[in-house]
Amino acid sequence: MATSPNDERRTEQPAGLRARLHTALFDAETPLGNFVETVLPWTVVASVAVVMLDTVESVHARWRGELRVAELGFTALFTLEYLARLWCSREPRRYATSLLGAVDLLAVLPTYVLLFTAGIAQGDSIRMLRLMRVFRVLKMAQHVGEANVLLGALIASRHKIFAFLTSVLALVCIEGTLMYVIESGSNPGITSIPEAIYWSIVTVTTVGYGDVVPVTVMGRLLASCIMMTAFTLLAVPTAIVTGEIARHVVRERRSGRACVRCAHEPAELDARFCTRCGELLCEATPRGPTRRGP
């Protein structure tokens, strides 16, 4: 697991160059850290764009050399970033084994594998390694503070989301079985329960490929009912995650608004006075952007 930026800043800071690197890479509240926080996301975007353009045959044929130089340059930059984070972190092993450290390593590893296996890897292996470089886009989440809020909301609502997905899975199995019973023998696109379940999933998710459609009256009636209920199903996970995000925002806004007399925190976000003793409430202290650690 990654440590919080606040925990990282509370530890004793390294001296000299390590201190400056630590500030640049882990403290976005300083001018240097804010500059790095601004530049790195655009660098990630540019590197992913290079990977994508390299898959366009006309662009690859004309700009192959330039794209290769750009790719090596981005790889060198991300390698230096990864090594710098390891060096200046107070807990290098913890950073290296964290999810964020794994993402940083994954951003550069495919290029090095390609370089060292140029005469061994062939065909699909090379193509897969090249496309793995697009996983650099995961680095974007490290430089967007709101991504932590979304990740926290997903983690907090994981049990509800799992229960919802389980219910949907049971529903599509039932609907697919019913459609098989109704359409088998009349519909050449539905000759087994798995094919009917595939149709049910496509319908419930409102994708509607159109490769399989009901042909009987009862099948169309069942399909109509499934389509109508699909809209309500799509709203459920959105409501679950949005509710968790709203609770997080409430907790953030309530932080620092405790009454100085009785330590009570009012639930009303726009409250000016304590609802328990009537004392004037102090405004919460604004928080700077968060950064990852360690």
Q: What is the DSSP string of 235-262?
A: HHHHHHHHHHHHHHHHHHHHTT---TTT
- One DSSP character per residue, 126-137 reads HHHHHHHGGGGG
Task: Tell whether the torsion through CA atoms of 267, 268, 274 and 277 is positive or negative.
Answer: negative
So what's the pLDDT on residue 220?
93
Backbone angles phi, psi at 187, to 5 degrees: -115, 115
What average pLDDT does range 159-172 have in this prediction? 90
Record the tokens describing residue 183, joined without a space.
Answer: 């359409």
Burial of 164 (0-12, 13-18, 19+ CB in 10 A): middle
The answer to whether residue 269 scores a pLDDT higher than 60 is no
User: CB neighbours of 145 closer than 8 A, spacing ≥ 6?
Assistant: 289, 290, 291
The pLDDT assigned to 119 comes to 56
Residue 286 banded pLDDT, cuts 50, 70, 90: very low
What are the extents of the domains in the chain?
A: 5-143, 158-254
Residue among 151, 142, 150 at smallest CA distance from 40: 142
pLDDT of residue 127: 61
pLDDT, residue 13, reads 44
DSSP secondary structure letters along 5-50:
HHHHHHSPPPPTHHHHHHHHHH-TTSHHHHHHHHHHHHHHHHHHHH
What class does CATH assign to 158-254?
mainly alpha
State pLDDT tens for residues 85-137. Answer: 888 888 888 888 887 788 888 888 888 887 777 655 555 565 666 666 666 66
Rounded to the nearest 5°, which phi and psi values hold at 124? Answer: -65, -30
Q: Is the pLDDT of residue 14 over 50?
A: no
Which of the pair, 91 or 8, is modelled with greater confidence? 91
Average pLDDT, the chain: 77
Average of per-residue pLDDT across 185-208: 90
Say what the pTM is.
0.57
What's the CA angle centered on 250, arms 245 and 253, to 5 degrees? 125
Tokens linked to 211: 């490769």
* pLDDT digit string, tens, across residues 78-96: 899 889 888 888 888 888 8
pLDDT at 12: 45
Q: Are 93 and 294 in contact (CB under 8 A)?
A: no
CATH number of 5-143: 1.20.120.350
Q: Give 3-state DSSP helix, strand, coil % of the chain, rounded to 5.
A: 70, 0, 30
